[in-house]
Amino acid sequence: MQQLWAPWRMRYIESDKSGPCILCTKPGEQADRSNYILERTAHSFVMMNRFPYSNGHLLISPYAHADRLSALDDEAALDLTKTVGRAMERLQEAFSPEGFNVGLNFGKAAGAGIETHLHYHIVPRWNGDTNYMTLLAEVRVIPEHLDATYERLLPHFQPRRP
């Protein structure tokens, strides 16, 4: 029998999930590297998901603590949408995925892990990326450590000069 080790999951399993909203606190900490924040705009930010569905799984969130799109003003909503589009382009440059799942989950029944602060998920996809581990064991195999993925993505998210 082979063993699959994922010791980083224990931190999540044992963590207190009743604390303050991480989408409010993490950008305020000014610790982008340790919080896996790749980009900041006037109204939103791009952060890697610490518990990804696939390599390069990103969260794009407004700074405003809003539980629905209609709670954002037009400027913040446009900024959020444009940030999602740029993040997909940057993931394409870095990983060459063959597709993306992009979405918002509103409410626990829809799968929202953070119900009160809206955020987009961008999940890069490759043909054949669902394997027997996901189908039979409900385990996802992520081929690269989060720190290595951050280092790989960061140059693609740096400000670009003409």
Does residue 13 lie within any of the structural domains? no
The total domain count for the chain is: 1
CATH code of 40's domain? 3.30.428.10
Provide the pLDDT confidence category of residue 138 given band limits of 50, 70 and 90.
low
Does residue 104 lie within any of the structural domains? yes
The mean per-residue pLDDT over the stretch 99-116 comes to 82
- Sole residue written with tokens 């909203």: 21
| pLDDT attached to residue 4 | 55
Does residue 80 lie within any of the structural domains? yes
| pLDDT attached to residue 54 | 83
Does residue 1 lie within any of the structural domains? no
Burial of 46 (0-12, 13-18, 19+ CB in 10 A): buried
Structure-token pair, residue 106: 């509103």
pTM for the predicted model, two decimal places: 0.81
Give the structural domain span for 25.
21-152
Provide the pLDDT confidence category of residue 79 given band limits of 50, 70 and 90.
very high
| pLDDT attached to residue 139 | 54
- For the cut 90, the answer to whether the pLDDT of residue 6 exceeds it is no
